[in-house]
């Protein structure tokens, strides 16, 4: 395994198993925008395999790097990923804050992901979580 490569367990389905290699390659190549994208994909993959602590760590790293790059789209992706992890670990208040921050960025960009975040919740859940409709 190449140095710097944090690969997903072999049991992970299809494309997820290569996310760690992509992150490692992006990191070594110096392409920071690709690295932040790969970190988000890796976070998604780790969450899908049930490794919530590692998923949260990858999304958090993606959020920090996307902030440094002023990449609003990847910031929103990282916040959305963090919100999923937070929700699944019972941190509802943090999840609400992360989803609201993701929604703000997606709405700023005018991308369909803003509607996806809004639709994820029934009206009563949106009110409970504080998600702007």
Q: How many CB atoms lie within 10 A of CB 109?
A: 13
Q: How many CB atoms lie within 10 A of CB 48?
A: 14
Instruction: Going residue by residue through the chain, which has 133 residues, state the pLDDT in tens, using 9 for 90 and above.
Output: 233 333 333 334 444 444 555 555 445 555 578 889 999 999 999 999 999 999 999 999 999 999 998 999 999 999 999 999 999 999 999 999 999 999 999 999 999 999 989 887 655 555 555 555 5
Q: What is the DSSP string of 98-125?
A: HHHHHHHHHHHHT-THHHHHHHTS-HHH
Name which of 56, 54, 42 is nearest 98 in CA terms. Answer: 56
Stated pTM of the model: 0.72
- What CA–CA distance (Å, rounded) separates 119 from 67? 26
- What CA–CA distance (Å, rounded) separates 94 from 68? 22
The structural domains of the chain, ordered by start, are 16-129 (1.25.40.10)
């Amino acid at each position: 395994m190449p140095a710097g490569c944090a690969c997903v367990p072999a049991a992970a389905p299809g494309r997820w198993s290569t996310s760690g290699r992509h992150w490692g390659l992006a990191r070594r190549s110096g392409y920071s925008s690709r690295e932040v994208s790969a970190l988000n994909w890796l976070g998604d993959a780790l969450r899908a395999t049930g490794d919530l602590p590692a998923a949260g760590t990858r999304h958090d790293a993606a959020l920090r790097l996307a902030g440094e790059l002023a990449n609003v789209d990847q910031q929103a992706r990282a916040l959305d990923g963090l919100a999923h992890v937070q929700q699944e670990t019972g941190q509802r208040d943090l999840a609400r804050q992360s989803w609201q921050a993701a929604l703000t960025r997606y709405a700023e960009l005018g991308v369909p992901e803003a509607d996806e975040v809004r639709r994820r919740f029934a009206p009563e859940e949106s009110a409970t979580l504080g998600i702007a409709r």
